[in-house]
A and B are shown apart, each in its own frame.
Chain A
């Protein structure tokens, strides 16, 4: 027990430029940056394919290829191409986040009931209005599911930034490893795990705000149903 927590509860590790708060800000910065880029790239692609119902095969194939890429391999490759810096870890994390975000948007929009889309068109919505006013709001639960799973993976994997000399909670893991300082390693790992749980909680809260109450699962005596 002491081995796990001695480092974590030492006040000396909670201040300064290498302290937990500073590393937290770095870790969140990498995470947010990678997620935003992944949303900007993956969401429109998934949404367009979901709306037009064209190219689903290509999109699923591309997502699977991306999923199969080893993150550390991507990181190394980008370092070789672009040198040390922020680009390699962000690129690797972005590629990690794109598949779930893209698949969530595609599956969510593709699953909006055809009769609802037909009605939207029938009352005179343009294709753009159908997408923004009907398909995206109705797909929100699945879109958010994709974003949440991307966020979790990125939070956990953002430790690799330290592998190429940057900060974040990964520092504690890699430094601890190099120095055989196991309490520090354990502390880093615990911090990442706690952060992942917190991010999940926050995103769940945000999801409650952005998903229409009309789409919430209906609670019945027999359990939870759609």
Chain B
């Protein structure tokens, strides 16, 4: 779909930003370019839509050398999302999204109709359509940026650190949203980031660059973590790579244990009687966990007092038995105040408990069965 053939970029001042890059981006997949600052990620990305022209080598999109296309026309067929969104301040949200269809010659009415659909696709309420960019939060602006890039349904999407200017919570939302969208749209996405966690989370394949614009390794995220090509890559993927690699192991072999629970509204006496190892999980009427009670917490509370939200201690992360990885199972155990991770089913209902020991046992089993490389 996108092919770099011995691509080199040397800027006028002599800086070699990209050095003999050979790389094939798989169609319909997310490919992430990651690496330290100044390693040539942006330059590589911008050569695809000719925002920068390569010094030598060739870039093919769908088998055609990009240099054969007129840059504005080429760019209209490739979605482009940048860090600060780069929305047009003088245009409403709706007209920002309608920009490319209008450039492509659609009638304004048709372009706006398409834009309204896209706002919904990226999860923005229709009431935002008439706002101006200055009236949006950073995360909302970024969503508009994505909608604008998708407007004429281009097969290729280039994204340059699109989520790095928003806070971690919003960033995670946007990442999940991108994965959801990609599940529906199957675009060929090239995504630039300097955050290895983001790369591993989003990438079907990850290209790690080193300073000087040299490709250090190009692999699936699990491979990158399990078999870094050299010291640079292993340092770059970081000290936690063993822990992160757990994220790629399904927790299917894991045994979920019994767990004691009371419902909000039950009495403190009930809770006290059912304590197991001094702890008990509190669930709401839908059986969704809402936290823990301990013997300490209950001491001195009247026998007939009801268990309410004020009494409950907040819990750790939840482990989803249907979609969760070993990493999330381990994290649920480590983050729980009782040392028992809380396991829920796909619908969020309490199903049992998980201990760190159990996770390590499952890991050992996966090792012997060959699922984990030695």
Contacts and interface: CB of A to CB of B under 8 A. Distances in A.
Contacts of B82: 115, 118-119, 122
Nearest to A138: B90
B89 A215 contact: yes
Given A119-B88, A138-B90, A214 B134 contact: yes
A134 B90 CA distance: 8
B90 A125 contact: no
A209 B49 CA distance: 37
A185 to B, nearest CB: 46
Q: Is the interface of A mostly helix, strand, loop or mixed?
A: helix
Interface string A113-144: 10110111111111001000010011010000
Contacts of B148: 123
A226 B88 CA distance: 16
Interface string B89-116: 1111000000110010000000000000
A212 interface: yes
A116 B85 CA distance: 8
A138 B90 CA distance: 6
Interface in B75-89: 75-77, 80, 82-89
A124 B73 contact: yes
B132 interface: yes
A205 interface: no
B72 A126 contact: yes
A121 B84 CA distance: 15
Contacts of A213: 132
Q: For A113, A212, A214, which residue has the most chain B Cβ atoms within 10 angstroms?
A: A214
A175 B71 CA distance: 64
A215 B49 contact: no
Interface in A137-166: 137-138, 140
Contacts of B75: 121-124
A122 B80 contact: yes
A218 B83 CA distance: 23
A16 to B, nearest CB: 48
Contacts of B360: none
B92 to A, nearest CB: 7
B103 A121 contact: no
A134 B267 CA distance: 65
Contacts of A215: 89-90
B289 interface: no
A218 B134 CA distance: 9
A121 B51 contact: yes
B132 A118 contact: no
Contacts of B87: 116, 119
B315 interface: no
A116 B86 contact: yes
B72 A124 contact: yes
A126 B75 CA distance: 10
Contacts of B352: none
Contacts of A125: 72, 103
A119 to B, nearest CB: 3
Contacts of B149: 123
Given A124-B77, A138-B89, A214-B89, 20 more contacts: A115-B82, A115-B86, A118-B86, A119-B80, A121-B51, A122-B80, A122-B86, A123-B75, A123-B100, A124-B72, A124-B73, A124-B74, A125-B72, A129-B103, A212-B89, A212-B90, A213-B132, A214-B92, A214-B133, A214-B134
Interface of A: 113, 115-116, 118-126, 129, 134, 137-138, 140, 212-215, 218
Lowest 9 A-B CB distances belong to which pairs? A119-B86, A214-B132, A124-B76, A212-B90, A124-B75, A122-B80, A137-B90, A115-B86, A124-B72
Interface of B: 49, 51, 72-77, 80, 82-92, 99-100, 103, 132-134, 148-149
